[in-house]
Structure 1
């Protein structure tokens, strides 16, 4: 295995956004992450939003890459979604899909998964259309700034969802907690935070490049959230089923919490 000190860092180096989508989220026959990265995320978020009564005006999404399937259920419960991206390439890839431009990544297989679960597969395409309609802004951010979206000041969010971002931008435990604190500042008092990550990973690959992943377990992320004043409402862990050497996680975690007022 490549030494971790030689791994690239997502928010510094960036990656080929389309390659990332093709590797981990496509409908190709050799895409082995459907159970772990598509179904697990889509179905658990459906349960979190429907059972947890999480809703409101503004949801902020600050996640790795430019996937959209984690926003299907959220789009039913929030009037506006603001998406934050650290790299221009991700912004362009996402806007291509939002604007339905030629060459946009195909997400139909993921919306079909949810619609089949809800037994309304005759409404194919409506999930994607709903997400497009509520994405109001796609904004670039800088983690080093006090206001990460400076000069734009975001309104406080009722919910923040972050998928794999803390895993990839954090060097160690202290850095993870510092970044968690930054993301938490985007929330209203009493707001909800949903984190999705990979447990006990050390790297992930995009093309020929390997990228750093912070290694942590369920106990650590639970303690980190409680330490930052969150009350945990939901937590599910799925042991890895995918057979592939392009990423070395052991499990996927999804955890929802709300901030004490």
Structure 2
């Protein structure tokens, strides 16, 4: 399929439940368990357990209706705010948050995280702590000066962004412009945790392929430092999954802080 025929996430909304089933579920044929689930949960557990990234407020501005990347965060931040562009994602997250019938099941990720923490029998308690920590799911708009207008959020001690910028940016100028807005959400001395798909051009949901901005690790490093962020840790996780649902070569994990 030619890249010009790829759909664009901000213009062509997809089935958020199908997306989770394809990339984050515990189905036997879900091939992304190591890359999409275990790798980010392990890195976030290690990062937060080190004790240097914590505080009152965490803002999550990520792609899709997944929550496994927040499991560890709920023990280190008093309030979590989840920012979403898609009404369908907000609906799915709200179903889970309010324990509604038909909500997405995250028991497999809760079990994995509690095992990492040495508390394998406390996955239900972990779910309750996360639901208590999430104070609001906010619809945002990337072209707004204040992404969450009319809602005004406190500046964050930490922002997590997972595979977002590459899916909403048509070119590198977009990426830089949108990153600036995300950095504004972080207080001085606060942290950014970024997961990025490296050397990617598309991802698939159902029968449709969606655009992903193709870039490498050097580009990400340059853009982050250009915005006044100091990179504290960078790890490039090589792809392990075998699938043509997307074509990423690796997943980049970066922690950085906003210079005071």
Give the TM-score band, short-chain normalised.
Answer: over 0.9
Please give the alpha-carbon distance, in whole angstroms, between the structure 1 residues aligned to 2:81 and 2:35.
25
Structure-to-structure mapping, 1:46-57, within 5 angstroms: 46-57=45-56
Is contact 1:48–1:234 with CA below 8 Å preserved after alignment? no
Q: Deviations over 1:92-134 (max 9, x none)?
A: 0000000011101111111111122222212122222211110
Partner residue, 1:134? 133
Distance 1:67 1:216 in 2: 24
1:45 aligns with: 44
Q: What is residue 104 of structure 1 aligned with on the other side?
A: 103
CA contact (8 A) 2:96 2:104 kept: yes
Tell whether the 8 Å contact from 1:42 to 1:70 is kept in structure 2 after alignment: yes
Runs of at least 5 residues in structure 2 that lack an aligned partner in the other structure: none
> Which runs of 5 or more residues in structure 1 are unaligned?
none
Classify the secondary structure of the residue corresponding to 1:159. strand
Q: Match of 1:12, SS? A: coil
Are the structure 2 counterparts of residues 52 and 180 from structure 1 closer, same or farther at C-alpha, using a change threshold of 3 Å? farther
Residue 157 (str. 1) matches residue 149 (str. 2): no
Partners of 2:45 and 2:116 within 8 A in 1: no
- Tell me if the contact between 1:87 and 1:140 (Cα under 8 Å) persists in the aligned partners: yes
CA contact (8 A) 1:59 1:160 kept: yes
Cα deviation for residue 189 of structure 1 reads 1.2
**In the alignment, what sits opposite 1:171?**
170
Residue in 1 that maps onto 2:20: 21
How far is 1:52 from its partner?
5.0
Three-state SS of the structure 2 residue aligned to 1:64 is coil
8 Å CA contact retained: 1:139, 1:149: yes
**Aligned counterpart, 2:209:** 210
- Partners in 1 of 2:116 and 2:48 — Cα distance? 15
- 4-13 vs 96-105, greater mean Cα deviation: 4-13
Deviations 1:43-81 (A, max 9, x none): 001111121511111111010011000001111100000
- C-alpha displacement of 1:206: 0.7
Counting matched residue pairs gives 260
1:1-261 alignment, distance < 5 Å: 2-261=1-260
Q: Which runs of 4+ in 1 moved over 3 A?
A: none
